[in-house]
Amino acid sequence: MSRGPSLQLNGTGRLRHFLTIDGLNRELLTEILDTAEGFAGVSERTVKKVPLCRGKIVANLFFENSTRTRTTFELAGKRLSADVLNLNITASSTSKGETLLDTLRNLEAMHVDMFVVRHAVSGAAHFIARHAAPGVGVINAGDGRHAHPTQAILDMFTIRRHKGEFTGLRVAIVGDILHSRVARSQILALNTLGVSEVRVIAPRTLLPVEARSLGVHIYHDMDEGIRDVDVVIMLRLQKERMQGAMLPSEHEYYRLFGLTEARLAAADSEAIVMHPGPINRGVEMASEVADGSRSVILQQVSYGIAVRMAVISIIIGTQNQQGQDNKG
């Protein structure tokens, strides 16, 4: 689904929205990673704030439940000194019949500078970006099965922090590829950043029909697919999105595709284990792996704040530059 590039970038190629990895080049992704690197130490300061977005208003519009993503976006905005609004959609006017555009217009009347949008419908963030007022930025915090670009970037940041360069890396993504917006964004980011090989490991029922066109090597055997990889990214089984019997049972799935210490031994001796969360222990991976020395899952959560600070600050920077150009 390539709807993003012209919508995401302004006339000089600067990021004005962040909706999808699709169409963004390596230089832009690297800029986000480098900017996040500069923010990574803010959490360890006595005063955990920088003044880059002082006076700006960021509205979190979460039409779908989330704890980790919403919380890290809220912290990211506040650490940039922005005013952050968390709109409780279930208690808002949208549940009383107000349309999405009505909600958008009312918030714009309050001079909101940015919307962070999470929605169950694919393309919702693109819709809001197309209809938002000029100078208002939109960040996609996950839409349907389509994309979750900031999760993918924080995963790339985690990989770079632990592995250095992307070139030469073999990365395996394991599990529910079919329903995962995270997997699609990860695959795009990994290939754009130049890894040696992206493998997807899944039962046939959990692979999208277009899987082979994504630039990946497909495996249906976990032991074969994980052999010699440098990074293992496990995915959550998204049972809430499954229709019909896609799996015999969770026990059978764990037997065939669950990550155990014995299975992990086939990967590179310095391989790291990742998961976007939340983990279904004993279904996707064993607790000893999730809590083990090769797991970087908690670091992913921590890095999410720095990455989201980076994306917000880059888009606000584009807005500020545009405002100066208009004055000039």
Query: Which residues line the annotated binding site for L-aspartate?
Result: 96, 181, 236
Query: What is residue 53's three-state secondary structure?
Result: coil
Known binding residues for carbamoyl phosphate are 68-69, 118, 148, 151, 277-278
From residue 177, alpha-carbon distances to 42, 77, 106, 121 in Å are 34, 30, 37, 17
Residues of 8-21 as b/e, b for ≥16 C-beta within 10 angstroms?
A: bbeeeebbbbbbbb
- Asked if residues 86 and 113 have their Cβ atoms less than 8 Å apart, the reply is no
Q: How far apart are the first and last CA of the chain?
A: 37
DSSP states along 179-238: T-HHHHHHHHHHHHHT-SEEEEE--GGGS-TTGGGGS-EEES-HHHHTTT-SEEEE----
Other C-beta atoms lying within 10 Å of the C-beta of residue 224: 11
Question: What is the DSSP pairing of strand 114-119 with strand 137-143?
Answer: parallel
> What is the three-class DSSP state of 128?
helix
CA atoms of 291 and 65, how far apart (whole Å): 25
CA 229 to mean position of chain CA atoms? 22
How many Cα atoms within 13 Å fall on the side-chain side of residue 305? 21
Binding site per annotation, positions: 68-69, 96, 118, 148, 151, 181, 236, 277-278
Count the neighbouring beta carbons within 10 Å of the beta carbon of residue 100: 18
Complete DSSP assignment for 129-180: HHHSPTT-EEEEEEETTTB-HHHHHHHHHHHHHHHS-STT-EEEEES--TT-
